[in-house]
Every structure is written in C-alpha cells, then in structure tokens.
Amino acid sequence: RKEVEQDPGPFNVPEGATVAFNCTYSNSASQSFFWYRQDCRKEPKLLMSVYSSGNEDGRFTAQLNRASQYISLLIRDSKLSDSATYLCVVRVTGGGNKLTFGTGTQLKVEL
Amino acid sequence: DGGITQSPKYLFRKEGQNVTLSCEQNLNHDAMYWYRQDPGQGLRLIYYSQIVNDFQKGDIAEGYSVSREKKESFPLTVTSAQKNPTAFYLCASTTTGNYGYTFGSGTRLTVV
C-alpha cells in the first residue's frame, strides 16, 4: 500500500464548478499535511498547509480527519488557471523532516 | 530575491557517464533534499541533508551520490551505476519547524 494515495484523475470540470480531491495516508505517525500544486513540467509549489481544524484560503478549503487518515481539498468557483496537478503531502514524525508525496490528482478546468 | 537555483535546466548524458546536477539556495535553510519524479510515480526521495557535512540516503539512493560542503549547496551526482537515470530531478530546501519545502525549477536529465 502506498504511504499517500490519491485518485489520479483527470477531473474535467467546467469553469465555475466546485471540485473536491481526496487523499488517504497510511502512517498514523504523520504529523504535518500539505497540498502542493504542480503545473505541467514545472516544480511543485506549496498551495496550503492543512490543519486539524480545517482551513481556508480564498476559494480553497482543506480538511483533515486524523481518525480516518484522510485529507481533502475543495476548490470553489474553478478558474481555467486552476488546471494543474494537485499533490497531497505528509510529514511523518521522526528524523529528516522528510515529506512524502502522493502521485497527484490532475484537474482540467474547461470553458 | 531568495530562492533555490538548479542548473542546468536540461541535461543529456551518454551511457556510462557520470553527471552532476547543481542546487544552490540563498534562503539560509538548513535542510536540503533531492527528489526524482517519473511520470505516474510522484516524487521519490534520493538523498537529504539536515546540516553541513552530513547527509542520509532516501528511498532510492542507489546509483547516486551527494555532498554538502556548504550550507548553500547540495549537488547531486548521477553515476553510471544508475540504470534508469532519465527523469525530472527536483531539489528542495526547508527550515526547521512545520513548514513545507521550497523547490528549485528542476533539471530534466535524458540518457542518449
């Protein structure tokens, strides 16, 4: 089983739609959680951290369910510019401050 | 502006050659990382370093080597022992605490 699992998509949605991505992680010692965005042939960029109480940044909302080991990202009012791959990322307690990346969910926003 | 610089952007290697990928950061970050990305496989950790003159193997270190002689620099050498080196290589850094990584723009290595 992969440490971080995501539906690879692609999710094809019309502009203005609301779309949700889910992610599960296997290591209960995971302590920090992030969503990264990666455009085609570019480096990943931090979209937002995910906090236990849930957090929002504009049109983006992230949720964490530690009991179910489940993370979600909700994008409201999708824009064409939101088209990218979204990576679910976790940090496990322990040495190295290492991050483990999911394989990503591809989003395509269409006119 | 502070950031991470990777060079070159594109690199072509002949079979049997060693090549070195450069990674330099001016963010004053202590920890630096090398990842490899292949299509459909996500990012996999090659090596990481939390402090100067110290580094540890990641999940796929075979065929790679690193050094960390300066805080700002963490070069990666892809040796001839790496059987499938064609990939997108990403360098990242972070500071202590609950922070994500900052990535460089990557190097695309192709074996010809």
Average pLDDT along chain B? 93
Q: Which residues of A touch B (CB under 8 A)?
A: 8, 31-32, 34, 36, 41-46, 49, 87, 89, 91, 95-104
Report pLDDT for B37: 96
* Residue B50 pLDDT: 92
Answer whether B54 touches A (CB < 8 Å). no
- Per-residue pLDDT reduced to its tens digit, A65-76: 999 999 999 999
Q: Which residue has the higher pLDDT, A95 or A72?
A: A72
Measured CA to CA in angstroms, residue B86 lies from A5, B94, B112 at distances of 24, 26, 9
Reported as half-sphere exposure (CB side, CA atoms, 13 A), residue A12 has a value of 2
Distance, in Å, from the CA atom of B17 to the CA atom of B15, rounded to the nearest integer, reads: 6
**B60 touches A: beta carbon within 8 Å:** no
Percent pLDDT > 90 in chain A is 78
Find the mean pLDDT for residues B19-29.
96
Contact (CB<8Å) A46/B105: no
pLDDT of residue B90: 97
Question: Which residue, among B39, B17, B49, has the nearest Cα to B88 in the 3D structure?
Answer: B39
pLDDT for res B109: 95
The pLDDT value recorded for residue A95 is 66
> What's the pLDDT score for residue A29?
85
Q: Which of B27, B98, B107 to mutate against chain A (most A CBs within 10 Å)?
A: B98
Structure tokens at A36: 């990264």
Taking CB atoms and an 8 Å limit, are A99 and B90 in contact across chains? no
In this structure, the number of other CB atoms found within 10 A of the CB of residue A38 comes to 22
Alpha-carbon distances, residue A76 vs A23, A33, A81, B95 (angstroms): 18, 21, 13, 32
pLDDT in tens, A16-36: 999 999 999 998 888 899 999
Q: Percentage of chain A surpassing pLDDT 70?
A: 99
Task: Report the distance separating Cα B5 and Cα B107, nearest Å.
Answer: 10
pLDDT score for B1: 66
pLDDT of B97 above 80: no
For residue B98, the model assigns a pLDDT of: 65
Q: Is the pLDDT of residue B58 over 70?
A: yes
**Residues A89-97, mean pLDDT to the nearest whole number:** 80
Buried b / exposed e along A71-105 (16+ C-beta atoms within 10 A)? bbbebeebeeebbbbbbbbbbbeeeebbbbbbbbb
